[in-house]
């Protein structure tokens, strides 16, 4: 098995900074502090730029993009280093190394490009200030058009409750999914396609909830409901990317289980590292293309004087309802994309599980059936939660004229589903529970 040898046998050794065992606790604490400071500092810059209308200029737009890129660069390398130092295991699998390299090159290249773009922005601002005022439409649009996010409730007594509730849910979601990622990366028994896709799903869930909830928390704490035009479209685009990527990863995971159960002898050949990486990359590229199409079509719209969005984030459907211009093409695109990326993946999931059920029923022993269905059951629960809440929001918005009730219902698939995924996959999976137990015991014993 050529592919199996690459993934199961070939490993690289990350030598690290130094091999003195007495310095390992110091290195762990130092880089953990630096990583947390990096994440917190750059996140504060992003939130400050998005929440202050005076900073809605090209210069600070590029600065916030640079901060996001810095977070991604640190996250690509430091967490793996921390896991290695904490577990005293400096190996990295062939697949893990191939994943880390393109991410590092992508974000480092993006950072270099952003620094060049920021230099050009300063050149135009200083050397051609009059053309800056006339041509930088980004600043003009953001200063003249601002949307109002009405949120879930306008009752002032409920604002502290909502703040505490959503802050807690956000922290639980980030911590839970981060533990899944660390457990998969630190346990060699979980270096399989199934858990590779699960760790990617956890990363996307963190990104999905980080697109909407932090802005809502900032609004609740500052008693401000304003969001700039550029920030609103950016939030809408990111939500589309990670929402559709969630959908496609669930489909890829169903295909992985179909191959593992219905074609077990060919599993290692079919689900090789190259195909796994290609499936994740295609999921991202398709999602990014859809977001680009929707955002490009939204940029051509003009808006009326009423810019109130009865939601806690900028959703495409609500933005289209505020437009004064013709949105026929936008609606056609929405239904076309929703049909293709909703019906096709769901059909793929349905086909995969019909074949899986047919194969499982042929297994003679009850223990074999239970073991086969252990992960499939968790995956089916997540699929039911994701699609069930999505269809529930659509039906509730169609059945009631209250947009506020629809916004409350959408909390299920934007916040609750990403929060529940780590519990669903870990509590029903003995391998994941064992890996999480090892990870937590190593962290506690290390300190």
Kindly report the CATH number assigned to the domain that includes residue 232: 1.20.1070.10
Does the pLDDT value for residue 132 go beyond 90? no
Same domain, 310 and 357: yes
When divided into structural domains, the chain yields a total of: 2
Domain boundary (125, 144, 163) is at: 144
Same domain, 216 and 130: no
Does the pLDDT value for residue 143 go beyond 60? no
Does the pLDDT value for residue 394 go beyond 80? no
Same domain, 254 and 366: yes
Same domain, 125 and 197: no
Same domain, 89 and 160: no
Same domain, 359 and 400: yes
pLDDT tens column, 10-48: 677 777 776 777 777 788 888 888 888 888 888 888 877
Domain boundary (97, 120, 144) is at: 144
| Domain enclosing residue 393, as ranges | 150-447
Per-residue pLDDT band for 368 (boundaries 50, 70, 90) equals low
Question: Which residues face 93 on adjacent strands?
Answer: 11
Question: Encoding tokens for residue 242?
Answer: 């990670």
Same domain, 155 and 195: yes
Q: What average pLDDT does the structure give for the chain?
A: 80
- Per-residue pLDDT, averaged over 422-443, amounts to 78
Residues 439, 426: contact at Cβ < 8 Å? no
Does the pLDDT value for residue 200 go beyond 90? yes
pLDDT tens column, 269-318: 888 888 888 899 889 888 888 888 888 888 878 887 778 888 888 888 88
pLDDT on residue 220: 87
- Per-residue pLDDT, averaged over 106-117, amounts to 86
Closest by Cα among 102, 111, 29 to 68:
111
Same domain, 100 and 170: no
Same domain, 167 and 95: no
Tell me the C-alpha distance between 30 and 53, whole Å: 36
Tell me the C-alpha distance between 322 and 305, whole Å: 9
Q: Which of 188-202, 324-338, 391-405 is predicted least confidently?
A: 391-405
Same domain, 196 and 294: yes
Domain boundary (144, 167, 197) is at: 144
Tell me the C-alpha distance between 380 and 43, whole Å: 34
- Give me the half-sphere count of Cα atoms (radius 13 Å) on the Cβ side of residue 3: 14
Tell how strand 91-93 and strand 11-13 pair up. Answer: antiparallel
Considering the entire predicted model, what is its pTM? 0.68
Same domain, 160 and 86: no
Same domain, 227 and 325: yes
């Amino acid at each position: 098995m050529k592919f199996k040898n690459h993934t199961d046998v070939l490993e690289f050794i990350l030598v690290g900074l130094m091999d003195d065992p007495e310095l390992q606790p110091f290195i762990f604490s130092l880089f953990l502090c630096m990583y947390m400071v990096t994440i917190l500092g750059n996140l504060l810059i992003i939130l400050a730029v998005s929440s202050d209308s005076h900073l809605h200029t090209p210069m600070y737009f590029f600065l916030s993009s640079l901060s996001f890129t810095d977070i991604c660069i640190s996250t690509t390398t430091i967490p793996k280093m921390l896991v290695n130092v904490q577990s005293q295991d400096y190996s990295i699998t062939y697949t893990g190394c191939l994943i880390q390299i393109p991410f590092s090159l992508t974000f480092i290249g993006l950072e270099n490009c952003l620094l060049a773009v920021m230099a050009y922005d300063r050149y135009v601002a200083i050397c051609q200030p009059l053309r800056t005022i006339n041509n930088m439409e980004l600043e003009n649009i953001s200063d003249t058009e601002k949307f109002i996010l009405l949120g879930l409730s306008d009752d002032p007594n409920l604002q502290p409750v909502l703040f505490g509730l959503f802050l807690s849910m956000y922290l639980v979601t980030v911590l839970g999914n981060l533990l899944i990622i660390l457990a998969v990366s630190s346990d060699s028994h979980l270096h399989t396609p199934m858990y590779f896709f699960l760790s990617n799903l956890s990363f996307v869930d963190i990104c999905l909830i980080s697109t909407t909830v932090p802005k809502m928390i900032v609004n609740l704490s500052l008693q401000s409901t304003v969001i700039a035009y550029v920030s609103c479209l950016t939030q809408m685009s990111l939500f589309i990317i990670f929402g559709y990527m969630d959908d496609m990863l669930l489909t890829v995971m169903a295909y992985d289980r179909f191959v593992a159960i219905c074609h077990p002898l060919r599993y290692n050949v079919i689900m090789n590292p190259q195909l796994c990486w290609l499936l994740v990359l295609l999921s991202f590229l398709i999602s990014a293309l859809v977001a680009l199409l929707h955002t490009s079509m939204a940029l051509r719209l003009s808006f009326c004087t009423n810019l109130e969005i009865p939601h806690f984030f900028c959703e495409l459907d609500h933005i289209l309802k505020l437009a004064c211009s013709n949105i026929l093409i936008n609606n056609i695109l929405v239904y076309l994309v929703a049909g293709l990326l909703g019906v096709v993946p769901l059909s793929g999931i349905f086909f995969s599980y019909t074949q899986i059920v047919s194969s499982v029923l042929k297994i003679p022993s009850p223990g074999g059936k239970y073991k086969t269905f252990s992960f499939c059951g968790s995956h089916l629960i997540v699929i039911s939660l994701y699609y069930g809440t999505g269809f529930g929001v659509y039906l509730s918005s169609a059945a009631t004229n209250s947009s506020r009730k629809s916004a409350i219902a959408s909390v299920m698939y934007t916040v609750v589903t990403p929060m529940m995924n780590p519990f669903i996959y870990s509590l029903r999976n003995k391998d994941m529970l064992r890996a999480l137990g090892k990870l937590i015991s190593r962290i506690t014993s290390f300190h």
